[in-house]
Amino acid sequence: MPHGFEEDSRRVDGALTQWRQGDCMLGDEWFLHRFEPDAPLTPEAREVAVGGAYLCETPVRGLMLATQTCDIVRPSRTRPFVEVTPLVKVDDHILREVEFGRRPGYAFIPGTVGERLVADLDRVMTVEKAVVVTWKRREGCGSDEDRRRLASSLARKRARVAFPEDFTRLADGLKNRLVEKHGRQTDEGRALRALREIRVRAAPSWGAPEVELLFWFIRDEDSDHLLGRPWPDMIEAWLRLVPAAGRFVLVEGIVATLADLSARDYVESDRLDLDHLS
């Protein structure tokens, strides 16, 4: 065992007691990934592939800890690694969509909202815990609700449903409408911004020869006063963009709050994500 290993481990463990999942370091940093020299797929990889390299470092604006808090604070002797994701800057429109969970390729971090930085979940890098100790900590999540939302984003990235291709084509008009109108200062734009999420239930199943679709448009509890038009009018207009066709023989929709849904309603439906429909 190297001289000083025990002392170094204790020092690292002590310094990490304040770090939590979602905490960040901001500033110039590098993200490392491996590529195939004969088929580099990114501009950064193509730039260095000419020298026969197979590792590429890309400059990023910072990094977010993606590892669960319980594993961050476990002894570094037995759990020496943590996972980090790079921070990327997005415009206000995308930031809002990420905040409401409509871009599962990204995670919203309340602590970096002022810089419009979100976590790019398509890229994950492993570092030793001693590296984290050298960083200046920026708190990512300041409340239990924020931490639950981040944990949900990280889980959904790996666990979200794979919608059938014919449903993706069917929902294309609705997706385009959401993207086009979300930021508008209209009743429709305000309604879209008041939606926590959109879920869809396929009965009896996604693979059935005939499928009935039920869209749940889940709104914020206090959103009624924001609109000049009633919610049913909004739902009717959105459902016209998803006409019954092919094996999708019926399309219906309901506007509700989370309190209105039963646990069964929620678990038997799947979240509609813009990234997944793109």
The predicted-structure confidence for 254-277, as pLDDT tens digits, reads as follows 988 888 999 999 989 988 876 544
Q: What is the pLDDT of residues 29-48, one digit of tens each?
A: 999 999 999 899 999 898 88
Please determine, for residue 68, whether its predicted confidence score (pLDDT) is greater than 60: yes
Please indicate whether residue 140 or residue 48 has the higher confidence score (pLDDT).
140
In 3D space, the residue among 152, 185, 192, 154 whose CA is nearest the CA of residue 274 turns out to be 192
Q: Burial, 64: exposed, middle or buried (Cβ in 10 Å; 0-12, 13-18, 19+)? A: buried
Higher model confidence: residue 63 or residue 105?
63
What are 17's two structure tokens?
């007691």
pLDDT in tens, 214-246: 999 998 877 655 555 677 888 888 999 999 999
Query: Please, are residues 132 and 20 in contact by the beta-carbon 8 Å criterion?
Result: no
- The answer to whether residues 181 and 188 touch, using CB atoms and an 8 Å cutoff, is yes
- Six-digit token string for 114: 């002022």
Mean pLDDT of the chain, nearest integer: 88
Mapped onto helix, strand or coil, the DSSP state of residue 212 is: strand
φ, ψ for residue 189, nearest 5 deg: -60, -45
For 121-147, what is the mean pLDDT? 95
